[in-house]
Chain A
């Protein structure tokens, strides 16, 4: 299993989820005894997850998913600043859900490694009518990290609030203590998909009417408490081992990078050093992403792809396109935590071993082996 972008759950988080079905099924807004029990468990959970993000429990809301948390967090910033303007400054490698809400403004370009052009970002946030800026700590598709602290300083100088998207990085690499709004996803550290939205105190933030009832007025409904408990348990289990896990993952990613770069005409994508420890991507010239994935699946290897032919919209990954790298023949590995998938090292080694023959087989089938 080399596609941990969503799950599987840490085994103890899964056990917590099962146990919580009896203990925490009730709506935490109810006044009866089961409801109060759910409320109390949810409060504990919120403390744990707030600690994970370095914020106060009162500043954290839980959402149905990372996308909802991102949209809500950004909407709260832009709505509060609607009299200043409507421009959202985002890098070209932000998640689609963010770019779709960034309006007509051209996203800030990135270089071939996927790193934002800092001068262009500085110029963009200093421009007229900017409501908010968005930057991800590290890219979920290619792993490249961004100089978030520097970008936060530029935003501060320009008086523009910043949303930091840590949905790919929380629990995998240390979270910089910047950003007026911070969004994360429990799925990145072995929990269930659960959106975490932190709005720091004093930040001008507010949603348009009507007022939402749950989660400090930020969500239409209270979270399902068993999921929140599972997320907190995944964090507790992973926290102590996070540094060791990241360092082991980094070694495994290096193995994949080395093996892929030895195959002729394979371009390893993303920054080799300044990157998330658990994400690695490469593109195979003259190969079809869909066929590559099927061939790897035949070897029992579950990986993802940013190639157009593997997406329902038949569009290539906007991240790969913005970087100016090959979008076809793309293979993306997102390593699970070792505690979630004890076989990950074996799977990485199997991928490295199988890759040359898989690529050769796909090219032979397409008649592109002699190009």
Chain B
């Protein structure tokens, strides 16, 4: 899963799960990824809208958030943020 530059990034569909499950699943997936890899997380939990950005900030991951119809796509850039 470390060849982020080739093929589609790993996709994690956490729609239908409630806090803190989406963040936990994203964290589990990121544990196996190298810095610079990306992970796409889909979630529709309202709390995830706050918690995924907060987790990315605490862990030093970069994050792009795109709202879709009733759910949200979070693209995590592992190690690509500026930690507090």
Contact = CB atoms under 8 A, between A and B. Distances in A.
A316 B47 contact: yes
B82 to A, nearest CB: 14
With most chain B CB atoms within 10 A of its CB, the pick from A320, A326, A371 is A326
A321 B49 contact: yes
Interface in B1-15: none
A308 interface: yes
B58 A371 contact: no
Interface string B54-75: 1101100000000000000000
B24 A286 contact: yes
Contacts of B19: 288, 307-309, 316, 327-328
B53 interface: yes
A324 B65 CA distance: 13
Contacts of A285: 23, 55, 58
A327 B27 contact: no
B42 to A, nearest CB: 18
Interface string B39-53: 000000111011101
B27 A286 contact: yes
Contacts of B47: 307-308, 315-316, 321, 327-328
Nearest to B26: A371
Interface residues of B, number: 19
A67 interface: no
Nearest to B22: A328
A307 B46 CA distance: 11
Interface of A is mostly: loop
A308 B18 CA distance: 9
Given A307-B19, A309-B18, A267 B54 contact: yes
A326 to B, nearest CB: 4
A320 B53 CA distance: 12
A314 interface: yes
Contacts of B18: 308-309, 314
Contact of B20 (A267, A315, A325, A328): A328
Contacts of A287: 20
A157 interface: no
Contact of B50 (A314, A324, A329): A324
23 contacts: A267-B54, A285-B58, A286-B20, A287-B20, A288-B19, A307-B19, A308-B18, A308-B47, A309-B18, A314-B18, A314-B46, A321-B50, A324-B53, A324-B57, A325-B50, A325-B54, A326-B50, A326-B58, A327-B19, A327-B50, A328-B19, A328-B51, A371-B28
Given A288-B19, A327-B54, 16 more contacts: A308-B18, A308-B19, A309-B18, A316-B19, A316-B46, A316-B50, A324-B50, A325-B50, A326-B55, A327-B50, A328-B19, A328-B20, A328-B23, A366-B24, A371-B27, A371-B28
